[in-house]
Structure 1
Amino acid sequence: MTTKNKKDGIDPVTLTVIEKGLQQVCSEMDLVHEKTSFSPVISESFDRSNGIYGLGNGRVISQGVMGLPIFIGVMQETTRSVIDYRDDLEDGDVILVNDPYLGGTHLMDVKMVKPFYYKGKIWCYLSNTGHWPDTGGMVPGGFNSTATEIHQEGLRIPPVKLMRQGTMDQDVVRIVLANIRVSEERIGDIKAQIAALDAGARRLTGLIDRYGQETVESAIAELEDRSEQMMRAHIDTIPDGTYCGTAYMDSDGVVNEPLEINVEIAVNGSDIAFDLSKSSPPCMGPMNSVWATTLSSIYVAIKHIFPDVPVNAGCFRPIKVEEPKGTFIYAEYPRPVAGCAAEVSQRIMEAVFLALADAIPGKLFAAPAGTSGNISLGGFDPEDERNYIMYYFSGGGYGGWWSGDGITNGCSTIGISKSQPVEVLEQRYPVIFDHYSIREHSGGAGKYRGGFGVSYKVRMLRGSGTASFLMEHGKFGPPGILGGEEGACNEIRVCRNGQIIEPEHVSKGEGFTLGPGDWVEVLTPGGGGYGLPEARSEELTKRDEKRGY
């Protein structure tokens, strides 16, 4: 097969085949990770990601199509931190790390980095992330809404060698398992992540064997250049100028006052720069965001607006983000960060959407639900005679957009994850879902209304459990744009011994001990509306009435 000519470089057919081949390597890693994991949050909800990362700076070369978008930028920073931290990597090594301050998110997102060797030389890195339902800490599941330092949130792991030249370091494993709950599940998740990396190494070796090292490297460089060109072409459609957006968080879980995310976006031709320095200062509670998560939030926001640009390091070249030091979205040790990846990231993205809404209304949408709805329930099941931890997140409404209503029960803005089937949860844990339904009236009104959130009630059947919540949009509904109204706020109700309680911080709380018959009810936000409500067509109104909305 001819792969190059002197005038045009690599031929387009080979370029496309290699591009899809790299994606397939990552997607197969995702599949192995999913099918071999013990935790339903990975095997059923796909809260994981796998990718290929470059030498030197850890830049993203490719990520699986089913990987969580928020990990696009995060795992670049993780891989880069491992490169900086370890100069002793050998063939067969696997690095384990979850340190938020070293290119991470919250402690429950545990990363592994494997140097990939080809013909005796390191060629790239294979990295993945899996959300472990627990990494220790004050509350089961790790979503400790009242933590005031990272050490209260769980086990923090610097880049350590889990595998040494193909052999698992049992001392490292023992330390990890001794510090987390339900350790028999975690060893399964550990082996699943390693298996995914091994599968990626086999497939990547086959790809390079087939097309040759020089051709694959040339294709990667060309793909990065093309992604940059596409992104620049999109940015060039935004009128030059400075645009401002503000999003608010309910509280940090400790101090019951809102936090502000303020973004200024400067567009100059095909370059775009972000300044978040006017955001609130570091907070006491766990809603601080580390730099890797803040940076990745900007990347994912732009990808939502321009979704057709292929994911690799090239698409980020036109995007400049100033480090917002001195704010709660630039967390430094020992600030707690449990809510950064699942919640703060979505508020950052919301601020970006609101800032650009007037500039490019034909490419923007009203704010989505913007919360993962994190709920953890941990306890002892007397029937199975075992401890358990159930971690669950739910969907919400997407914002109305320029051509239609928002999606109902869409996944969070940061991912492609889906809620775990309630039937699976009922089989594994001592709970039953009394109802799971569309939350009517939750979409913001507009020419195109927001999508609806969901409503569910989960009840304890036996034993005991302790519930914790870390959610958002409980005080401020997802905003509409261009005259659209905001979506409904998040609501949580807990019933213990027949008494209904609402958390003091509305969307956050912990330490709710539940017994048989006690229940938790959650109503997730709807999306904001797009355009003036009076501009909504009679046809769309009748359609909603016909469907019973």
Structure 2
Amino acid sequence: MSVNQSLPDYVREHNIDQITLDIIENALQNIRYEMDRVLVTTAVSPIIREQEDQFPLITDKKGRMVVGQFGSAIDTILEHSSYEISDLKDGDVIALNDPYMCEGTVSHLPDFLILKPIFFEDKLIGYSSQWGNLMDVGGKTEGSIPISARSVLEEGIRMPPVMLYKEGTLNEELLKMFTHNTRLPEQAEADIKALVAGTTVGAERVKELCQRFGKDVYMEACDAILDRTRSGVIDLICTHLPDGKKFEFEDYADDDGLGYGPVKLKLTMYRDGEVLNFDWAGSDPQVQGPINFYLNPEMFKMFGGIFLIMAYAPNLVFNDGYYDVINVNIPEGSILRPEYPAPLSNRLVVMARHFDVLQGVFSKALDSFSVSGSYGTSPNFVYAGKDSNGMPFQTMEILYGGVPARPMGDGVDGHSWWPEFRAVSAEYMEKYYPLQINEYQANIDSGGSGEFRGGNGIKKTYTFLEDGHITFQDDRAHTYPFGVEGGKHGAPSQKLLIRKKDGSRVKLPSKVENVPVFKGDQLIFITAGSGGLGDPLKRDAEHVVKEVRRGLISKERALNGYGVVINEDETLNPAETERKRNELTNQQSGNTQLFDNGPIPEIEKLRTEIADTRRSFDAWLSDEDVSNAESAMKSGVSKE
């Protein structure tokens, strides 16, 4: 056998050697991270600078993502622009934020996308692209995430694909027009220019690769990288999934913010030879409220492939190379494919829930890799108003919750769906905005019990130092993060507003808009945990004791959830632990189910509960004196 015959197909079929291919692939991944660094260090808003809510990619000349995070829809973007590929020049920069004009590559209006064609020796060789979440793009509420929106037209300014830079020259009037329609024009302008800077760095680094290796070698490497991922994903599909057998899973988002819910997402998956098929038929239709998620089928192909890659081949680069071996059906007019002008501002509820459903269907299909349910969204929190000096203020942050348990590993406490996201520090918030962070910690016992514990949600307490109003969205207040393979469900989310005036404590729904708050009021913001994985009685008892000491689980949960008896000095009692675990084993014999969805009532009762919660809140909010405890009690809002 010749040396060439022993090489993998993705190398042998391309005119490039293995070492050069590896160097270019690793260089592209480093470029992608450099794009991140440039953006984060030049942006000014906390949601990008502090939390890193932004995503980059680099494509080949056909617009296929070679490295990146969100998949590309460059053909769709150009189709909705007034430009042909032949019209593009070096130094051009296209900008947009309308999800309906980029196949959901950005999924709500605050996400602003930059697309820059890359030229070398006057030839188009690819695209560099990046998007980030702006703090505000107008609309009816600060932060541009209105809960009451019934149309995308209420959610802020919409920019179709337009030329922001032409051959390196900024269209100042266009930028001014866009930022003029935001509440934070200086921040919006700075963040947009930071996005351009990060995207430009990506383009320049690609040109340097072409200078080093030659344009043809670079372009051949892009093809080989895509083919390598395709070959790897085919192998994963054929190795780990049975051929022809269908697997179904469904889960529910709580509500749309207007009182309608729960909202069902259903997924069917089956393998046909080398091809993996996903079908979202059976999911609910689009809703009036803004939790609709305009899902790009190509993006969902990326998500499906990423699950297999991260579970079994984490060294494999995920990109657009394997999209032809995954088929996706998303019914038009559904919650995952709404028709224009359906509102989209709080789409994170359904985005996160569709990850849970994907994990659920894989948990059924795979013998060796199950994953529990998550905290169910990426909660947004906005606090705005005018301070004592008459100066306006507006903050926005993303909060996190329990990340699911997975084989051989606990879920992560209080983390984002996206691994590189960070929390905004209390010091930053207190320095720049009129509030105090009194408490920020893992919410004890919110992660489901299991051999591998579900991640805890977070408990964050704000004290408002100026009168203002708050808007936020969360979920999993009525439904529970599911446990799997004997693991228990996680705890739901909660929100509690405490009025300084009279000490009244009002439970708020998970989605509210423009709730007035007054100086000295407090908000306790609790996110959901995640489900556990595996039999809790198999969890290492000494580790349970350590987590009691750390405040992650209570002594009661240790005893009744894990069968672990802890002495008064917080040491393990081995003999009593063995006795307790035997007792619990006998009690649960034969009762283990694949999924534990928690104490959720039947759908019609749940629908009534959700509608009643919204009606009670609306009545309380409309009261002239919302700080009056007696008034709140009369409106039917639950109190503690």
> 1:465 maps to what in 2?
468
> 2:178 maps to what in 1?
176
C-alpha distance 8-278 of structure 1, shift in aligned 2 (>3 A) = closer
C-alpha distance 471-78 of structure 1, shift in aligned 2 (>3 A) = farther
Residue 517 of structure 1 deviates from its aligned partner by 0.7
The match for 1:530 among 529, 533, 545 is: 533
Question: Does the residue aligned with 1:291 lie in a helix, a strand or coil?
Answer: coil
With structure 2 as the length reference, what TM-score do the two structures score?
0.79
Deviation readout 1:424-482 (Å, 9 max, x if unpaired): 111111111011111001011222221111101111113x3221111111111111111
Q: Distance in 2 between matches of 1:6 and 1:416?
A: 35
Question: Does the residue aligned with 1:527 lie in a helix, a strand or coil?
Answer: coil
> 2:569 maps to what in 1?
none
**Runs of 4 or more consecutive aligned structure 1 residues displaced over 4 Å after TM superposition:** 4-8
- 1:33 matches 2:39: yes
Identity of aligned residues (%): 29
Q: Distance in 2 between matches of 1:300 and 1:426?
A: 37
User: How many residues were matched structurally?
Assistant: 529
The match for 1:48 among 44, 54, 57 is: 54
The match for 2:274 among 270, 273, 294 is: 270
Deviation readout 1:116-153 (Å, 9 max, x if unpaired): 12112222111110100111011100111111000111
Q: What is the 5 A alignment of 1:64-75?
A: 69=69, 72-73=70-71
The match for 1:193 among 192, 195, 210 is: 195
C-alpha distance 520-216 of structure 1, shift in aligned 2 (>3 A) = same
The match for 1:404 among 401, 409, 412 is: 409
Q: What is the 5 A alignment of 1:356-505?
A: 356-382=362-388, 386-412=391-417, 414=418, 416-462=420-466, 464-496=467-499, 497=501, 498-503=503-508
The answer (yes or no) to whether the contact 2:40–2:49 under 8 Å persists in 1 is yes
The answer (yes or no) to whether the contact 2:351–2:377 under 8 Å persists in 1 is no
> 2:291 maps to what in 1?
287
C-alpha distance 7-102 of structure 1, shift in aligned 2 (>3 A) = closer
Residue 368 of structure 1 deviates from its aligned partner by 2.2
- Provide structure 1 residue ranges, at least 5 long, that are not aligned to the other structure: 64-68
The answer (yes or no) to whether the contact 2:233–2:305 under 8 Å persists in 1 is no
> 2:259 maps to what in 1?
255
- 1:77 matches 2:73: yes
> 2:109 maps to what in 1?
107
Question: Does the residue aligned with 2:484 lie in a helix, a strand or coil?
Answer: coil
Larger radius of gyration: 2
Q: Distance in 2 between matches of 1:105 and 1:97?
A: 12
Pairwise CA RMSD of aligned residues?
2.0
- Return 533-542 or 24-33, whichever deviates more: 533-542
The match for 1:148 among 147, 150, 160 is: 150
The answer (yes or no) to whether the contact 2:52–2:421 under 8 Å persists in 1 is yes
Q: Distance in 1 between matches of 2:235 and 2:13?
A: 24
- Return 140-149 or 300-309, whichever deviates more: 300-309
One-letter code aligned to 1:281: P
Question: Does the residue aligned with 2:463 lie in a helix, a strand or coil?
Answer: strand
C-alpha distance 466-82 of structure 1, shift in aligned 2 (>3 A) = farther
Deviation readout 1:93-134 (Å, 9 max, x if unpaired): 211101111223100110011111211222211111010011
Q: Distance in 2 between matches of 1:418 and 1:404?
A: 21
Deviation readout 1:12-61 (Å, 9 max, x if unpaired): 111110001112222211111110001111111111112112334x2212
- Return 303-312 or 442-451, whichever deviates more: 303-312
Residue 6 of structure 1 deviates from its aligned partner by 8.3
Q: Distance in 1 between matches of 2:159 and 2:526?
A: 35
The answer (yes or no) to whether the contact 1:277–1:325 under 8 Å persists in 2 is no
The answer (yes or no) to whether the contact 1:375–1:470 under 8 Å persists in 2 is yes
- Return 308-317 or 29-38, whichever deviates more: 308-317
> 2:351 maps to what in 1?
345
Question: Does the residue aligned with 1:124 lie in a helix, a strand or coil?
Answer: strand
Residue 351 of structure 1 deviates from its aligned partner by 0.6
With structure 1 as the length reference, what TM-score do the two structures score?
0.92
> 1:96 maps to what in 2?
95
The answer (yes or no) to whether the contact 1:182–1:388 under 8 Å persists in 2 is no
One-letter code aligned to 1:516: K
One-letter code aligned to 2:433: Y
The answer (yes or no) to whether the contact 1:45–1:420 under 8 Å persists in 2 is yes
> 2:234 maps to what in 1?
232
The answer (yes or no) to whether the contact 1:298–1:348 under 8 Å persists in 2 is no
- Return 422-431 or 295-304, whichever deviates more: 295-304
One-letter code aligned to 1:173: L
